[in-house]
Structure 1
Amino acid sequence: MTTQSTAPASPTVTTQAPLNVTVVVGSNRHGRFGPVVAEWLLDLIRAREDLTADVVDVADIDLPTSMNRTAEATAALADVSPRLASADAFVVLTPEYNHSFPAGLKNLIDWHFTEWQAKPVALVSYGGLAGGLRAVEQLRQVFAELHAVTIRDTVSFHNAGASFDDAGRLKDPDLPRAATKAMLDQLVWWGTALRDAKERRPYGA
């Protein structure tokens, strides 16, 4: 009797499409610092091959707080809702105002529901001594109610105004870069896992 040896199968290589990540800039206050942090963050996201970025800025969206579907609200939603729906993952950038996150950000969140479902949300904050962390903890509760998954690791900028120079560059970038990489790595893992799971079985089905 002869035996035939079989060469081990070559590992299957799969090519994943980049995740569509929407960065939500959560402040619409006059003189806000958010765009400085957002540009720094977007540079890191755009440098990655596993992510493509879109930006939704609450300062550019005119949604009423009454939650009534007026013509103005319908027009605003026609622009922003498809962009949120097409996202595989989110990075939400928030300041901390009076121990919480801004009303404009809450309004954008509340106008939507299914757009957030079964998607990961990374949270980046900035502020004074607390670095916006109290706003982050409240956002975790909000997104849990919307069936979203918040990423464990966060990035926070304490005394943010003093951390960046006049050109928008971090004065000491090493630690924030490392923290952001860890957060985005987790976002990619969750985003890929949830996207694959929803392709096999739609969420809630």
Structure 2
Amino acid sequence: MVRRNEERRAALVDGAIEVLAREGARGLTFRAVDTEAGVPAGTASNYFANRDHLLTQAGARVYERLQPDEATIARQRASTGDRETYAVLMRELVGRISDFRTGYLALLELRLEATRRPQLRAVLTEQVRADLEANVAYHEESGLPGDATAVQLLYLTLNWLIVEQLTLPDVLSEAERERLVTAAVERMTTSPPHAG
């Protein structure tokens, strides 16, 4: 019974992500989540104490689903530590996030909602900070070029590139996006010349 409850909870949270992406935070109701998850009316209210609880669970689930699988991580760890490899990894990252379009759009909705909900803001802040710190630590261990600042700058740059791709996909072509990711990696991992 516990496993079934965990599966149902995951289905409800995934349903909440879909509702957030499609209808925004204002459209997120227990009834809408029940409908999206294909469960009887009233089910979501049995799993989540209130709407805030559902919002915070949705935020955590987006990050959980965006994590690369074990095969991708193993391949990344076995790759060489040059700029081209780094650019490939970043293009794959943009692709993986873009493939989970509803998750990223839901995350944008959650970020906007977090400006009005301190508890949600705290949860998202903790998750994003932990994710960024993990990315910096992974980068430092991997031997890829660049430092922590380069990782942070790429994080900020690629996030907006992804927003552009998901919300206004015709602004840049796929080839232009790939070229920009490669250029960002190259420029942010090249040490500036030292002033003499």
Normalised by the size of structure 2, how large is the TM-score?
0.28
Point out the structure with the larger helix share. Answer: 2
Normalised by the size of structure 1, how large is the TM-score?
0.27
